Amino acid sequence: MPKDTGIGAATVRREDVRFLTGTGEYTDDITLAKQTYAVFARSTVAHGTIKSIDTSAAEAMPGVLAVFTGEDFADVGGNPAGWLINSRDGEPMKEPKRPVLAHGKVRHVGDAYAAVIAETVQQARDAVEAIEVDIEELDAIVDMNAALSGSNFVHDEIGTNQCFDWGWIEDNREATDNAIKNAHHVTTLELVNNRLVPNAMEPRASIGSYKASTGEYTLHTTSQNPHLTRLLISAFVLGIPENMLTVIAPDVGGGFGSKIYHYGEEALVLAAAKRLNRPVKWTADRTESFLTDAHGRDHVTKIELALDKDGKFLAFRTDTKANVGAYLSNFSTATPTFLHGTLMAGNYTVPLVYVNVKAVFTNTAPVDAYRGAGRPEATYSIERVIDKAARELGMDPIELRRKNFVKPNQYPFASAAGLEYDAGNYDALMDKMEEVADVAGFAARRAESEKNGKLRGFGVNAYIEACGIAPSNLVGVLGSRVGLYDAATVRVNATGNLSVMVGAHSHGQGHETAFPQVVAEMLGIDPAVIDIVHGDTSKIPFGMGTYGSRSLAVCGSAVVRATEKIINKAKKIAGHMLEASEHDITLADGVFSVAGTDKSVTFGEVALKAYIPHEYPLEDIEPGLEETAFYDPANFTYPSGAYACEVEVDPETGKVTVDRMTAVDDFGNVINPMIVTGQVQGGLAQGIGQALLENTSYDENGQLLSASYMDYTMPRADDLPMFAVDHSQGTPCTHNPLGVKGCGEAGAIGSPPTVVNAVIDALQSGGKNVTHIDMPVSPARVWEAMQ
Amino acid sequence: MTKVTMTVNGKTVSGDVEGRTLLASFLRDDQGLTGTHIGCDTSQCGACVVHVDGVAVKSCTMLAAEADGATVDTIEGQANADGSLNVIQQAFQDHHGLQCGFCTPGMVMSAAALLKENPKPSEQEVREYLEGNICRCTGYHNIVKAIMAASGQDVTAIAAE
């Protein structure tokens, strides 16, 4: 087995060919016979009572086939929250119904209250304009403090805008308070983790279809997890039996979290397809995406760090308000709590952590997991306050972090925030970062910048995250309403090629290339004969999809387990063919041999024999060679990293330029280093985008001011530098068979505080006593801070 | 409805379009050339870039009727005659210049237009030229690298290989 094709090989991606030749098949590229088109009527106000909807004029428009309103879905279920959070007093969180179409009230700009189905998309669009709606506008609830203090409610039936008031770890609250009260030094920082729009380049799209003769439904949709979408639609929203609904997520143009969730449009096109007995397609335009895709982040936080006189961390105390928007998106309650609070010990031996999170309903788009999901918020708070503490104490920021790092001999390490870190080496990452980033050369680069009238700053960050989401036993205790295992089926066909059906979904991650590398390595065969099948609930066993950097750590582990079963059965078959005990059979380079003899059969011969079971000991071996495994991880995986950023600030304009960005990550073992590097680079761009460019801005009336690419500053090619990415310091995960950790979110987790720390360093080097600027660190904010 | 005729990827095609039909929609819906993608409604993202009479154009910002009589090249016509990837496409694959693939057709078409007018662009020139093409996956690093490699420049010194 040449090492240039198996585990560890930087194999180019096979899926690229179809994308590069324009032959990929995204949902909007699909046209089904007799297809019709849906266009939604969306609220232009953030908060209002629907007094009446008159659809008669729209129904009379050319080509219009049907008009739906919230009334049509009054009797079906709501889109549920997937995670139950209990407040500190034991009360369960508030869960207002999230209907398919708004009914009674509209609760954010873009909230759909009706949908037109027509022969063409233009006809549907024209007809939406003819719907006469009378919405009595109510005061919009936008600011979280106002939401918590007022008597104006997003959901009148729950009588509060507070979803929950969560404490973690509640038993540590008093000890944490005391540690902070009595500490030698306490550093306090108030910050905003800015709301972001995920902005996958492919807008959401769905096609519902229905076969009246059998009662079967099919949904083509832009999903990161088609089985979860099927489950939600079947069990909670429309009540379609799961075995009568196929969900297909074909090529999907990026997700970053926003395509995890089930959205009302998916239910609408299915219901409409049944009523019309014709396929119904809906494709979002970009403004709809801005208005209705689940947003990310939006935390307002106060964090305090207590230190002793030697700079040892004594406690972190965090008080956060998390905006959940107008409705609970499927994982919106897990993101600010268990994906955030549990990471609040960072890479450090700090003995006490206490986090309070109040989740708040507002008249804005729902907020849910976006690349990193809770962990960027945790890392940003921790790493910004540590940087501020280092300045207050006159300590080197790298040394202060090293002084408090968990050391390699402390694993497994029980963090003060309740997780058990299994492996890591944070000093080694920091060492490597100092080398790759050429920290030693910074002073000379700063002098050069100063010569050119620019301020140069250096920022550092150490992060840890919990991914490979997630051990079902653990998350079940923590409130998850789903299990977070994954599944794979390895089917060896009679002619020796393989189909591997995986529950993970690839929408940029390169599964079609990386998963075959694993199977090929294990079987000693050419990966070219292995194909990955994903994204179709009728073809794959089950799966919880792709998010939380879980594909390889969880689904990849299921692939390993299924392949192990294949090997075990193949050895039985080989033993039968070679008239030897299966226990004497060895597998190497795709050949089964009897140990100590020259007797052997190839993998292909065994595959054929599996399907032509002549002279078979049928009492011992079944025909066929196909195995399924479900894998539920024993723990999260814990990627970690040390990042560095150098910025130049133009003191005349406040413009920040990222000159150097270094990411040194520990992902454990790496299957395809080319893909891993690409994942980090993309994450860095999103993190730099958050730090410097991107902002989701609602005005006081709840109007989204940044609802297009004219207004929302996406990172462009000329906003970013080349990146230095290193993952040579891996410490293998101890509890999954591949020793892998997950690399999808790291870049977006590690980079925002690194960039902001660098900006603060630059400003301080210019004699400005600036200790914090909220993201995005725009030229206007920098300039203002410098005055 | 207006009848339009144009040469798309070397073939003469025609169709009846409404006055408001965009070139992007004509290519996707009438011609089935779904490699040209629509990623925004403000002519910002560049997923729909095609060449019209040899010039890179955002096909969502041009009416199909305006392209009457023109020569239009799309991503579907970029591969070599034997079906193999052309130099730019191959460089994108070799340097992992794509992930989800949605922006990729526009990136490849923009890259082709860039290299036509500037056969050896610097890193900065590539970045500035791609101002009108948004990618959310790659952070652009490998796209820039791929385009420079496609131009015949040595990119081995670029970090994070």
In a domain, B17, yes or no: yes
* A575 vs A410: CA distance, rounded Å: 46
- Does residue B60 sit in the same domain as residue B20? yes
Give the confidence band of A3 by pLDDT, cuts at 50, 70, 90.
low
A709/B139 CB distance under 8 A: no
- Among the candidates B77, B103, B127, a domain finishes at B77
pLDDT top residue among A436 and A4: A436
In a domain, A415, yes or no: no
In a domain, B159, yes or no: no
**Full-model pTM:** 0.97
Kindly tell me if the per-residue pLDDT of A68 is higher than 50: yes
Interface probe for A, chosen from B22, B40, B93 (most Cβ of A below 10 Å), is B40
Nearest chain A alpha carbon to B74: A22
Looking at residue A1, what is its pLDDT? Answer: 39
- Indicate the DSSP class of residue A26: B
Residue A345 near residue A317, CB atoms below 8 Å: no
Nearest chain B alpha carbon to A250: B100
CB contacts of B136 in chain A (<8 Å) are 199-201, 254, 256, 682, 685-686, 714
Q: Show which of residues 236-265 on chain A sit within 8 Å of chain B, judged by CB atoms.
A: 251-254, 256
In a domain, B16, yes or no: yes
- Does residue B70 sit in the same domain as residue B19? yes
- Does residue A430 sit in the same domain as residue A353? no
The per-residue pLDDT for range A358-387, each reduced to its tens digit, is: 999 999 999 999 999 999 999 999 999 999
In a domain, B156, yes or no: no
Of A470, A513, A535, A520, nearest to A490 (Cα)?
A: A520
Distance from CA of B3 to the nearest CA of A (A): 18
In a domain, B120, yes or no: yes
- Picking from A20, A709, A717, the nearest residue to B140 by CB comes out as A717
Q: Which domain holds residue B52?
A: 2-77
In a domain, B157, yes or no: no
In a domain, A312, yes or no: yes
Distance from CA of A723 to the nearest CA of B (A): 6
Kindly tell me if the per-residue pLDDT of A311 is higher than 70: yes
- Does residue A401 sit in the same domain as residue A453? no
In a domain, A658, yes or no: yes
CB contacts of A12 in chain B (<8 Å) are 93-94, 96
Looking at residue A274, what is its pLDDT? Answer: 98
- Does residue A611 sit in the same domain as residue A545? yes
In a domain, A620, yes or no: yes
What is the rounded average pLDDT of the residues B7-21?
96
Of A370, A388, A457, nearest to A694 (Cα)?
A: A370
Interface probe for B, chosen from A201, A283, A290, A709 (most Cβ of B below 10 Å), is A201
In the block, residue with structure tokens 């131009």: B151
Give the confidence band of A2 by pLDDT, cuts at 50, 70, 90.
very low
Q: Domain containing A584 — which CATH number?
A: 3.30.365.10
Give the confidence band of A267 by pLDDT, cuts at 50, 70, 90.
very high
Cβ–Cβ contacts within 10 Å for residue A570, how many? 25
- Does residue B6 sit in the same domain as residue B67? yes
- Does residue A68 sit in the same domain as residue A128? yes
What is the token pair recorded at A641? 């990293």
B44/A709 CB distance under 8 A: yes
In the block, residue with structure tokens 């040390």: A642
- Percent of chain A predicted with pLDDT > 70: 100
- Does residue A564 sit in the same domain as residue A508? yes
The per-residue pLDDT for range A318-364, each reduced to its tens digit, is: 999 999 999 999 999 999 999 999 999 999 999 999 999 999 999 99
- Does residue B55 sit in the same domain as residue B104? no
Buried b (16+ CB within 10 A) or exposed e, A624-641: ebbbbbbbbbebbbbbbb
- Does residue B128 sit in the same domain as residue B61? no
Looking at residue A150, what is its pLDDT? Answer: 87
- Picking from A122, A201, A718, the nearest residue to B136 by CB comes out as A201
Give the confidence band of B158 by pLDDT, cuts at 50, 70, 90.
confident
How do strand B49-52 and strand B11-17 relate by DSSP bridges? unpaired
Check CB contact of B158 with chain A, cutoff 8 Å: yes
The per-residue pLDDT for range A634-686, each reduced to its tens digit, is: 999 999 999 999 999 999 999 999 999 999 999 999 999 999 999 999 999 99
Give the confidence band of B161 by pLDDT, cuts at 50, 70, 90.
very low
Residue A132 near residue A54, CB atoms below 8 Å: yes
- Among the candidates B47, B77, B107, a domain finishes at B77
Kindly tell me if the per-residue pLDDT of B160 is higher than 60: no
Q: Which domain holds residue A566?
A: 16-22+485-631
Residue A721 near residue A661, CB atoms below 8 Å: yes
The per-residue pLDDT for range A524-550, each reduced to its tens digit, is: 999 999 999 999 999 999 999 999 999
B45/A709 CB distance under 8 A: yes
CA atoms within 13 A on the CB side of A151: 0
- Does residue A512 sit in the same domain as residue A660? no
Check CB contact of A653 with chain B, cutoff 8 Å: no
* Phi and psi angles of residue A256, each rounded to the nearest 5 degrees, phi first: 60, 25
What is the rounded average pLDDT of the residues A561-572?
98
* B37 vs B30: CA distance, rounded Å: 14
CB contacts of A24 in chain B (<8 Å) are 35, 101-102
- Does residue B65 sit in the same domain as residue B106? no
Kindly tell me if the per-residue pLDDT of A688 is higher than 60: yes
Residue A274 near residue A382, CB atoms below 8 Å: no
What is the token pair recorded at A413? 């390490």
In a domain, B160, yes or no: no
- Does residue A64 sit in the same domain as residue A211? yes
How do strand A112-118 and strand A299-307 relate by DSSP bridges? unpaired
Check CB contact of A611 with chain B, cutoff 8 Å: no
Check CB contact of B104 with chain A, cutoff 8 Å: yes
- Does residue A219 sit in the same domain as residue A358? no
In a domain, B68, yes or no: yes
Kindly tell me if the per-residue pLDDT of A52 is higher than 80: yes
What is the rounded average pLDDT of the residues A28-42?
98
* B20 vs A158: CA distance, rounded Å: 47
Looking at residue A24, what is its pLDDT? Answer: 98
In a domain, A472, yes or no: no
In a domain, A6, yes or no: no
Q: Domain containing B130 — which CATH number?
A: 1.10.150.120
- Does residue A710 sit in the same domain as residue A760? yes
- Does residue B59 sit in the same domain as residue B94? no
Distance from CA of B38 to the nearest CA of A (A): 8
Q: Domain containing A37 — which CATH number?
A: 3.90.1170.50
Report which residue type is found at A187: T
- Does residue B6 sit in the same domain as residue B42? yes
- Bridge partners for A216 per DSSP: A211
Check CB contact of A683 with chain B, cutoff 8 Å: yes
Distance from CA of B144 to the nearest CA of A (A): 8
- Does residue A607 sit in the same domain as residue A566? yes
Kindly tell me if the per-residue pLDDT of B159 is higher than 70: no
- Does residue A395 sit in the same domain as residue A524? no
In a domain, A87, yes or no: no
Q: Between the CA of residue A317 and those of A184, A301, A390, what are the distances in Å?
A: 15, 10, 17
- Does residue B69 sit in the same domain as residue B108? no
The DSSP secondary structure of A381-424, one letter per residue, reads HHHHHHHHHHHHHT--HHHHHHHHBPPGGG-SEE-TTS-EE---
- Does residue A188 sit in the same domain as residue A238? no
CB contacts of B121 in chain A (<8 Å) are none
Q: Based on the structure, what is the number of domains in chain B?
A: 2
- Among the candidates B50, B77, B104, a domain finishes at B77
Kindly tell me if the per-residue pLDDT of B137 is higher than 60: yes
Q: Show which of residues 185-214 on chain A sit within 8 Å of chain B, judged by CB atoms.
A: 199-203
What is the token pair recorded at A425? 């080496």
Q: Domain containing B67 — which CATH number?
A: 3.10.20.30
- Does residue B35 sit in the same domain as residue B97? no
In a domain, A9, yes or no: no
The per-residue pLDDT for range A456-488, each reduced to its tens digit, is: 999 999 999 999 998 999 999 899 999 999 999
Environment class of A244 (CB within 10 Å of its CB; exposed 0-12, middle 13-18, buried 19+): middle
Q: Based on the structure, what is the number of domains in chain A?
A: 4
Check CB contact of A29 with chain B, cutoff 8 Å: yes
